[in-house]
Each structure stands twice: as structure tokens, then as C-alpha cells.
Amino acid sequence: MKVTILIILFMFCLTAMGLKVYLPSNFTGQSISNISVNVTSTGIFEYVREATGTEPVPYWQMTNYVSGLGSSSITTNEVLNISDNGVDIVKVGFFQGYLTVLQEVSNTIDHLKFGAETRKDDDFFSHSISVNPDEILVKKSGWYKISYEVCWFQNSGDNDRHVMHTWVDLNGSKILPSSSYSYTRDDNYGQYDSCKATFVKEVSAGGKIMLSARRISGSYSPQALSNQTWILIEKI
């Protein structure tokens, strides 16, 4: 009891002298905006809230305590979610699109048309679901991780055997490596197969990405299935 009273009296004296008293706070789920563009340090930034009873000051105080997060950095393109354990960075720079109709592909090169977008971060990508939906424009230079899957299907009556080749074009040229192959047997056994791949590629601003395909054997035209054919591009 005596120790508690002494602590209270000590805190009161500090406040009376004009010294700031800080209390620990739980910032889980809170977001901080307008971080100064001059912040260039890497690591964790600590935030503290001033105790009730001190003179009016900015609600948030930030110190330059930095701990090891390697080369991670805070930029104006990132959102900071404050928690007791430091800063969680909400990553941006995603595009994901998928086919909304069946698309037949023959022995000539075709580009798959993404009629729907699961996510498009406009600062990084430009894409239209109605005008040239097969083109995805990259707005920012950097390294990107690209993943895709094309589910191929043979219609009833298509009893031939087919090999399909799928790859990604950047500005009209095939990215190496990005190729994948599939084999379908006929319309009853081996009616479905997929082409899929994941790779990384450095892309300059203005780069145009297209998912391309062609039949390299067989006499019919397998179809890329809607809602099951997609591409995902991630800034890394």
C-alpha cells in the first residue's frame, strides 16, 4: 500500500513539474496515416500515447527506435497498421484476373482475355475487362512474381489427342522461363488438363503482359475454361 502511494505521488510530482508521463497503449487495429515522406529508416517504429493530465500535445508520438528488419523500408506506398509488436506492412501491388467465357485456342497463337478482376491495384497496373482484356499494363518498374493456370477442356465429339503450350509474353516476346504444357487424350478419358507456372521477371514501367497459348498437336481446338483460368501478378 505504501509503495502504491509513493508511486502515485511521484507521478503527480512529475506532472506538476511539466514533465510528460507516458502510458503503454494497445494500438492493435489502429492505422496511422500521413507518415512524413522524410522517414527513411528501416525497422520498427514505436508509438506511445501521452497520459491524461499532461498539457495538450500531438496525440501520437513517434520515436526512432529501430530494430532488425533487414532491408525492409517504409515508403509512402505502404499502409502501417500499428500493434503492440511493432509495424505490420499491408502489401500492395497485386493484379489478379480470370476468364469469364470459354475461349477456344487453335494452332495459331491466341491471347487469353480476362473478363473479370479479383483485384487490381491501380497504382501498379492498368487493365480493362472490355477493351483489350488480354493486355495487362505494368505502371511501376521492378521485379514481379507471375503465376497462372489454364484449365483445358475437350468438347464432346473431340476424340483427338492434343498438346497445348501456354506461356507469358512481355511486350510481344516470350518470357523465359514461363512455358508450360498439357496433354488431353479425348472427350471421355483425359478430357481435362492444366497448364500452370510460377516465375519472377523484372519489368519496366509501361511493360505489357499477356498470357498466350496455342495448340501444337491435334486437329480440334480445346477450350480454356471460364472461372478456372487465371493470372496473378505480384510486385516483390
Residue 133 grid coordinates = 482484356
What pLDDT is attached to residue 191? 82
Residue 193 grid coordinates = 488438363
Could you write out the DSSP letters of every residue in 176-204?
A: SS--EEEEE--SSSS-EEEEEEEEEEEE-
Residue 36 has pLDDT above 60, yes or no: no
Strand partners, 192: 153
Report d(CA 218, CA 195) in Å as an integer: 16
Q: Average pLDDT of 81-89? A: 52
- In the chain, domain spans: 2-90, 94-235
Model confidence over 203-222: pLDDT tens digits? 999 999 999 999 999 888 89
Report d(CA 215, CA 104) in Å as an integer: 10
| Phi, psi of 3, rounded to the nearest 5 degrees | -65, -40
Report d(CA 66, CA 63) in Å as an integer: 9
Domain 94-235 belongs to what topology? Jelly Rolls (2.60.120)
Position 103 confidence tier, pLDDT thresholds 50, 70, 90: very high
Model confidence over 108-165: pLDDT tens digits? 999 999 999 999 999 999 999 999 999 999 999 999 999 999 999 987 777 788 899 9
Residue 183 grid coordinates = 496433354
Report d(CA 130, CA 33) in Å as an integer: 35
Report d(CA 135, CA 200) in Å as an integer: 18
Prior bond of 177 cis (ω within 30°): yes
Has this prediction a pTM greater than 0.85? no
> For residue 132, what is the DSSP state?
S
